[in-house]
Structure 1
Amino acid sequence: MADSENSKKIHMLERNYNTPAWKLFLIYDIFMMVIIIVNLVCLCLNAFLLSHFADWLFNEIHLPQLLSFYKTDLHPWVVKTESWFITFLICELLLRWFIAIIHKHHKRWFFFPFIHWYEVLAIIPYLRFLRLIRAVIIAYRLEELGFKVIPENWKKTALFYYRVVMEELSDRVVITVIDSIRHELDTSSSHKKIIHDLVDHHREMFAQTLAQVLQESLATELKNQQANITDNVGQIVSKAIADTPELTKLLRLIPIVGSTIEHQIQSIGQRLGENITQGLIDPFVAGNAKQPNASFELIAEKVSQMNIENQALEQLVESVVYESLESIRKQVKIKQWQLVLEKNDQAKEASIH
């Protein structure tokens, strides 16, 4: 059948398409889909032929007698068949409800009409269009079973327009919310508290991110330049010793070994500067991105706890918030469905040329 209480049975039977029960469900689904579509087409044509536009059109094409024939001879049959069809739908619905109760398709016996609300409402003459939902459900399930009921281009077109509608609705909602937030920030005196709360809420995340950034960038660069830095510091210490005239004069007073001691002191000073620099850099190059070293974590923690009760800092934070909202607004205003249309048009033009 075309409804959810039979879905479990159909899924159980999907593995063997040759069973009589599966064929029965398939035939019944197709039968219901066809008669629903035929019924809706007949009702649409009937509504058209009874309209003032039909009177004008048939008078224009000089066939008023054909329209009169329909109203006098065929229209009563349409009314009768509609009443018969409604009776059939009521009986069919009650029968399926009874089967659902026997086989306990639902947890409670009275769940059936609520689950199949569209079928119940479709019995009402003014809500006949809801019958189309059942036909669509049947077609969708047949598509899932591998039967090509709906042409591929129809499905693509329907999916495209569904996305257009959903995108337009969601864009309107998002833009309205963003504009409301901006209006609140512009007019409310509590916007500073909102921004401060926003910053306070993200302090821990900011500290973790800053520590990772320092580890990935500063620590890596220090490690790459470590040899150059230690060498340069060593040379600076050696040059500082050599440029100290008091030490040079004192050492030259020592006969024979004075110059040798001077060179040894310069060498020791250079090595000492290199070792000190190496020891200062090592703590900053340790660790990794997932576990930054303690020095960077301490720096990040102190920076994240900074007091934002500062006019320049408040303006900076406000600017970031406003520009973020504006960027989101601009992105939302981009019509993705228009881009898809342009891409399809370009593809068509390329295929033509």
Structure 2
Amino acid sequence: MLKINRENLRNSHETPWLVLDLVMLGVLFVNLAWLIFDSLYATDFVYGQLGTYFPGLIDVYDPVHNNFLLVDLVFIAIFFTEFCFRWIVAIVRKEHLRWYFFPFLHWYDIVGLIPTGATRLFRFLRIFSILHRLHKFEIIDLNQTAIFRFFAFYADVFVEELSDRIVVKVLSDAQKDISAGSPLLDDINDHVLAPRRPVITQWLAGVINHLGKSISSDEHGEVIREHVRKSVGKAVRSNAQVSTLNYLPVIGRTIENTLEESVTDIVTASLVNLLSDLDAQRIDHFISVGMHDYTPTADALDKEVLSVVNECLELVKAHVSQQRWKSHLTDKESSIPATDPSDESELKADSTPR
């Protein structure tokens, strides 16, 4: 049962509107009950039964039934007046961006004013409009009602089932395009990477320049310089011509160490200069000219990339296809405590007459 939060009602200053809503609900129920009675009155069965048991009612109600449209116009005038009043208030409060938005957002009220059998049913939507407005101001809490939870759950089930099938269909079509030889890698290169090549080359040049400065730094480049020193020293010592310097007495070892240090300094300085001086124009020229003859389609890498994409899509499809609403139902049912059979036997024993 709905509970009215009186404190929120006072704070929201919606008490006059709540009174108006209750009055309009009363008028609405009277109108709908009258519509139902008049529709039943028009049937031969109900008319015959009333003529048998309540002949006086027929004499009184026949003129009303024959002019029911005029009676309904009275209710329509009441609803239309209330609609115009709310429209004026919405304009004064500036509840919408434009003054003419109100009738579009409350279209069901306008349709319900049309005096035909089908359109009169739209007057029922006024009930949901009132409940939504009260729920928005936290005067009532629809989330605590069983009927709201029931419809909300099955609405989520419907949306989940529909969206899952759409997503799986889209991913399956993408997989078919990939397996049919869709030029995905060429499209990525032409439409994604190529327009961004200036940005990519600028970023790559910045990274390379920063790497060169880091190598030349005494604080950060010691590890790289030590690695270069060991590599060059190993190469120098393993060289056949340099190893012959060991046969020179006294100065042979000194010359070899001096040569090793000199080559190490030259290689390190060359590497630092190469990395520091490399700019975006040179990288872009290298990609345009040096990589021109490289054909990635001839390599097995493109197949591996497509396989990775396909496997990722399969994982996404498997994840999307999981019906989470079923697991929600299972968890809800498992949370209900089961009755212990021993407790039932004790209850039966207690209820046995002695």
TM-score by length of 1: 0.57
| SS of equivalent residue, structure 2 residue 140 | coil
Q: Once the 2 structures are TM-superposed, how far is the Cα of residue 162 of structure 1 from its aligned partner?
A: 2.6
| SS of equivalent residue, structure 1 residue 269 | helix
Q: Once the 2 structures are TM-superposed, how far is the Cα of residue 43 of structure 1 from its aligned partner?
A: 8.8
Alignment-mate amino acid for residue 110 of structure 2: V
- Report how many residues are paired: 294
**Cα 1:134/1:266, change in 2 over 3 Å:** farther
Q: Once the 2 structures are TM-superposed, how far is the Cα of residue 323 of structure 1 from its aligned partner?
A: 3.4
Contact 1:143–1:149 (8 Å) recurs in 2: yes
* 1:140 equivalenced with 2:132 (yes/no): yes
**Cα 1:91/1:223, change in 2 over 3 Å:** farther
The match for 2:349 is none
Q: Residues 19-30 of structure 1: matches in 2 within 5 Å?
A: 22-30=14-22
What CA distance in whole angstroms lies between the structure 1 residues aligned with 2:122 and 2:228?
A: 81
Alignment-mate amino acid for residue 179 of structure 1: S
Equivalent residue in structure 2 for 1:246, among 224, 244, 247: 244
Alignment-mate amino acid for residue 310 of structure 2: Y
Q: Once the 2 structures are TM-superposed, how far is the Cα of residue 248 of structure 1 from its aligned partner?
A: 2.6
| SS of equivalent residue, structure 1 residue 146 | coil
Question: 139-148 or 275-284, which moves further after superposition?
Answer: 275-284
Over the residues paired in the alignment, what is the CA RMSD in angstroms?
A: 5.6
Contact 1:230–1:275 (8 Å) recurs in 2: no
Alignment-mate amino acid for residue 272 of structure 1: S
Contact 2:9–2:15 (8 Å) recurs in 1: no
Contact 1:118–1:130 (8 Å) recurs in 2: yes
What CA distance in whole angstroms lies between the structure 2 residues aligned with 1:198 and 1:332?
A: 26
Contact 1:37–1:132 (8 Å) recurs in 2: no
Q: Once the 2 structures are TM-superposed, how far is the Cα of residue 338 of structure 1 from its aligned partner?
A: 3.0
Q: Structure 2 stretches of 5 or more lacking a match?
A: 1-7, 40-48, 215-219, 341-354
**Cα 1:99/1:28, change in 2 over 3 Å:** closer
What CA distance in whole angstroms lies between the structure 2 residues aligned with 1:178 and 1:36?
A: 49
* 1:160 equivalenced with 2:153 (yes/no): yes
What CA distance in whole angstroms lies between the structure 2 residues aligned with 1:138 and 1:39?
A: 17
The match for 2:166 is 173
What CA distance in whole angstroms lies between the structure 2 residues aligned with 1:84 and 1:16?
A: 40
The match for 1:96 is 82
What CA distance in whole angstroms lies between the structure 1 residues aligned with 2:10 and 2:170?
A: 52
**Cα 1:89/1:284, change in 2 over 3 Å:** farther
Q: Once the 2 structures are TM-superposed, how far is the Cα of residue 101 of structure 1 from its aligned partner?
A: 7.2
Q: Residues 29-48 of structure 1: matches in 2 within 5 Å?
A: 29-33=21-25
| SS of equivalent residue, structure 1 residue 125 | coil
What CA distance in whole angstroms lies between the structure 1 residues aligned with 2:131 and 2:281?
A: 65
Q: Structure 1 stretches of 5 or more lacking a match?
A: 1-13, 48-67, 253-258, 287-291
Equivalent residue in structure 2 for 1:322, among 277, 285, 310: 310
Q: Residues 6-21 of structure 1: matches in 2 within 5 Å?
A: 17=11
**Cα 1:140/1:325, change in 2 over 3 Å:** same
What CA distance in whole angstroms lies between the structure 1 residues aligned with 2:228 and 2:35?
A: 91
Q: Once the 2 structures are TM-superposed, how far is the Cα of residue 166 of structure 1 from its aligned partner?
A: 1.7
Alignment-mate amino acid for residue 166 of structure 1: V
Contact 2:112–2:121 (8 Å) recurs in 1: yes
* 1:131 equivalenced with 2:123 (yes/no): yes
* 1:266 equivalenced with 2:259 (yes/no): no
Equivalent residue in structure 1 for 2:110, among 120, 127, 130: 120
Task: Tell me the percent identity.
Answer: 20
